[in-house]
Amino acid sequence: MTDPIAPDPNESPEHPESTPGISANPEVDASSASTRPIGRRRYLIVASAVVILLAAATSILFLMQRDSPLEAARQACGAGREDWAMLGDDGNSLTLRSVGKERTGLKLEQLQCYWTELDVPDAVIAQIEGTRALDGRQSGEWEDMRASWIYHPDDGLQMIITLSD
């Protein structure tokens, strides 16, 4: 039976550095033990910051590359000639010109495509369709867009749609 108080013959008290987990200089052990978690914490903080920055940069790039609703409507409905459906103000305005007696332009089906793509309310569409040459410039608003238009049978409809601020 071994005495629990008796020293282990495999341990050498003269050379405590040879004992696993014990250093000849206890201050070194204390400082290295305390820096290990700090180093790991620092690494986690830096890694988290990098992930957050990458996510933010990706979101910004996605938002910058996304088409405005006006650009998306133009892609979906087509433009015919360039001057029939003109984007302006960096995609924040769209001018539509329809066919008239003396002028070429978008046909009614194309205009209706734009109105559908841009979620123009039925009330505004009714105002547009009821506009006469004598009425002058009319306007309407919905969600985050507003429009103004004029109509003359010879020139057709000219409509300017802008995104609200």
Q: By the 8 A CB rule, do 84 and 105 touch?
A: yes
DSSP string, 77-110: H--SSGGGEEEEGGGTEEEEEB--SS---B-HHH
Look at residue 9 and tell me if it is in a domain. Answer: no
* Residues 26 and 42 both lie in one domain: yes
Look at residue 76 and tell me if it is in a domain. Answer: yes
Please give the angle made by the CA atoms of 114, 75 and 156, to the nearest 5 degrees. Answer: 40
Looking at residue 14, its pLDDT comes to: 53
Look at residue 6 and tell me if it is in a domain. Answer: no
Torsions phi, psi of 95, nearest 5?
Answer: -110, 125
- In Å, how far from its chain's centre is CA 94? 21
Mapped onto helix, strand or coil, the DSSP state of residue 146 is strand
Looking at residue 105, its pLDDT comes to: 94
* Residues 44 and 85 both lie in one domain: no
Looking at residue 40, its pLDDT comes to: 80
Mapped onto helix, strand or coil, the DSSP state of residue 66 is coil
* Residues 84 and 142 both lie in one domain: yes
Q: Return the residue matching tokens 């995104």.
A: 163
Look at residue 11 and tell me if it is in a domain. Answer: no
* Residues 84 and 159 both lie in one domain: yes
* Residues 130 and 88 both lie in one domain: yes
Q: What range defines the domain where residue 90 resides?
A: 69-163
Number of structural domains found in the chain: 2
* Residues 78 and 116 both lie in one domain: yes
* Residues 91 and 144 both lie in one domain: yes
- Say which amino acid occupies 72: A
In the chain, the largest separation of any two C-alpha atoms, in whole Å, equals 117
Q: Which residues pair with 87 in a beta bridge?
A: 94
* Residues 117 and 148 both lie in one domain: yes
* Residues 87 and 119 both lie in one domain: yes
Q: Which of 65, 92, 62, 87 is nearest to 77 (CA)?
A: 87
Looking at residue 114, its pLDDT comes to: 95
Looking at residue 133, its pLDDT comes to: 94
* Residues 121 and 76 both lie in one domain: yes
Look at residue 147 and tell me if it is in a domain. Answer: yes
Question: 0.75 cut: is pTM over it?
Answer: no
Mind listing the pLDDT tens digit of every residue in the chain (165 residues)? 555 565 555 555 555 554 555 555 555 555 555 555 677 888 888 888 888 888 887 767 655 545 799 999 999 998 878 889 999 998 999 999 999 999 999 999 999 999 999 999 999 999 999 999 999 999 999 999 999 999 999 999 999 999 987
* Residues 107 and 126 both lie in one domain: yes
Looking at residue 3, its pLDDT comes to: 58
Looking at residue 82, its pLDDT comes to: 81
Mapped onto helix, strand or coil, the DSSP state of residue 121 is coil
